[in-house]
A and B are shown apart, each in its own frame.
Chain A
């Protein structure tokens, strides 16, 4: 049981380059989330998908797009990377009951030069 997987683990981009962060879960969870974590800021929600076929903006969506490809997969795309997007990105998934915790992937460390 792999849980939540993310690829890649590390990435270095130049300003203006694009890339897609991949996330997949094998727990049959309905909801999936993308966060960024910056020093001293905790986790900030970028986008989430409450169920297959729906996506919504979180607290910091500018510069990002998402795709809920199917129930398992939720990708995050940076169309034109900026140094301000240097961060650690976490994907998470959750069932739907109010008592359910989120399960997190291992994170992607992204540096934009």
Chain B
């Protein structure tokens, strides 16, 4: 079946612009996660959604970062007023439920000039 998909695959933006990254989880998966992979910091957890519960935002690095998940499916990660240090690969994962295997998408490579 279809895996986790992310769009765009690559995004180049100018410092100070806002960007939106999209994640389509595997159908039927109730849990959705965002991670960031950067050269300096490795792989970092950003945010987690589970069903209709309040998301766990404990990994968001600043208030410029936000995410929403509409209808329990598609998720959008928004970065406002991008900075060069936001350049990274943003990975989305989904799982069938809590404490179950996370399946990762191919990522969105973001470059902030």
Q: Do A and B come from one complex?
A: no
Task: Give the B-binding residues of A (Cβ under 8 A).
Answer: none
